[in-house]
Amino acid sequence: MKASSLNNQIDDLFFKAKKYLPKKEVEKIQMALDLASSAHKSQKRMSGDDFIVHPIQTAIRLAEIRLDPDAICAALLHDAIEDTNIDKNKIKKVFGPEVLSLVESVTKLGNVRIKKSWFPYLRVQKSEIPEFERQVETLRKMLVAMASDIRVILIKLADKIHNLETLSHLPEEKRERIAREAIEIYAPLAARLGMGKWKGIMEDLAFPYVLPKEYNELRALAIPKIKDREKYLREISNKVKSLLEKDSIRPEIEFRAKRWYSLYKKMQKYDEGLEKIHDLIAVRIIVSSIEECYTTLGLIHSLWKPLVGRIKDYIALPKPNGYQSLHTTVFTDDGKIVEFQIRTVEMNNQAEFGIASHWVYSEDKKSRNPSKREVQWLKDFYQIQKKVNSVDELADIIRMDLFKNRIFAFTPLGDVKDLPSGATPVDFAYSIHTDIGDKCIGAKINGKIAPLDTKLQNGDIVEILTKKSAKPHADWLNFAKTPFARGQIKRKTG
């Protein structure tokens, strides 16, 4: 590899780090780079590149989301314990116990290797059971590591992304497996953390290796349409922009083509042609305050009629992963349908980087709010997995937590409960407290009495009615969804 290319990559890393880190922290990163470079010296990647390129690219990905310097150092050293004879004590002495612990956790995670598709795992053959158990165990390990420090998984995901970027250098028989792992395991993990951008990046890197024919057909079909559509959207948006500027609002307007894999999935799901897909390109209007978001929405609606039922206020009612935005779909003057997403800069960061946006480095230690960094479902998972002893049950929990669509419902006081789709008031009751579940006799959904087996919908407000003398019923098992509720009911009625 040419030295100039390596130097460019190092420059890129420090350019990005200096944008948000003080000198002292940048120096620490330089030391981590020096240590990693000497440890990996003379090692090569399959591409022929010096090995150090890989940790550097992993670190760059994390510097882009302005992760704290300990995580950047750990990213630079993430393959050093396993692949070199580096001295752990040295890492600890120079960089502190936190960096060492991050590096060790990433090393311990290892790789999830899936032979058979994880879906549908229920059809596992007897001979494959050890493999299946190993997969479940690896996923458990990952989730437990995430529960203790989310940065471990962020480093792992950044590592995966670079491996996907360089997949073409691997032997052909390995490519598809690694790409499939990304789509089946790592992309859903990123999604569950609200990291929509990384999820999309991983899926689109993996897509051509998993479904090459479909990938090529879709691109050939969509690229000309995307070009036409973008031209049209720019015209429409200029109208909005000039009106907003009269109100002294200076919006950033972004046009984002839908990611290939998510476009593919959407067409499969609805069995629809491209012309029916209105969000082929998303129009994002980014303004500087919440007030300006609503002003912008009002202005768009004064220009064009909105489609009924398509106005979504995720600012007042954020999604459980923290996503906030206003969405509206309108008929434009020439009868076309256009979707707008309106949000602030902070909301845009949250939408792209989810949980990671709470780890953004800040010099002011007081503004680093630890409670915002906690992920409730991970904390719950950590507690629940300790009590589970069958692999099937554990697999169910992981499937529910990670791969099932989620809905969110509210208590009358506005607390959000994050539940798998199909969850019922009984699941909701147990998610508040075991006692509330046990003593539950009925429920009001959005103010109306509803049966306990009602499937909750996104945004429902659920009030649980309880009675002191009440007890769980065995027939709740016919409809309760969450592993936690089911476990409690079984224990108390069996």
Quote the least distance from Cβ 434 to Mn ion, whole Å: 42
CA distances, 115 to each of 19, 135, 182 (Å): 42, 9, 13
Active-site annotation holds for 68: no
Q: What phi, psi does 271 have (nearest 5°)? A: 50, 50
CA distances, 412 to each of 213, 245, 369, 433, 463 (Å): 50, 40, 26, 15, 6
For Mn ion, which is the closer residue by CB, 53 or 489?
53
Quote the least distance from Cβ 78 to Mn ion, whole Å: 6
Quote the least distance from Cβ 36 to Mn ion, whole Å: 11
Quote the least distance from Cβ 86 to Mn ion, whole Å: 14
For Mn ion, which is the closer residue by CB, 97 or 110?
110
* Residue of 11, 27, 34, 82 with catalytic role: 82
For Mn ion, which is the closer residue by CB, 56 or 452?
56
Query: Contact, 76 vs 159, CB < 8 A?
Result: no
Quote the least distance from Cβ 20 to Mn ion, whole Å: 24
For Mn ion, which is the closer residue by CB, 25 or 159?
159
Quote the least distance from Cβ 333 to Mn ion, whole Å: 52
For Mn ion, which is the closer residue by CB, 55 or 483?
55
Dist. CA 284–CA 345, nearest whole Å = 11
For Mn ion, which is the closer residue by CB, 152 or 240?
152
For Mn ion, which is the closer residue by CB, 62 or 397?
62
Beta bridge partners of 48: none
Quote the least distance from Cβ 402 to Mn ion, whole Å: 22
CA distances, 249 to each of 147, 216, 290, 313, 338 (Å): 41, 41, 12, 20, 21
Provide the binding-site residues for Mn ion, judged by CB under 5 A.
79, 159
Quote the least distance from Cβ 17 to Mn ion, whole Å: 19
Active-site annotation holds for 339: no
For Mn ion, which is the closer residue by CB, 162 or 486?
162
- Compute the chain's Rg from CA coordinates: 25
CA triple 271-274-279, angle to 5 deg = 105
Q: What phi, psi does 329 have (nearest 5°)? A: -120, 130
- Nearest residue (beta carbon) to Mn ion: 159
Quote the least distance from Cβ 236 to Mn ion, whole Å: 44
For Mn ion, which is the closer residue by CB, 79 or 181?
79
* Residue of 83, 272, 374, 435 with catalytic role: 83
Which residues does the annotation mark as catalytic? 82-83
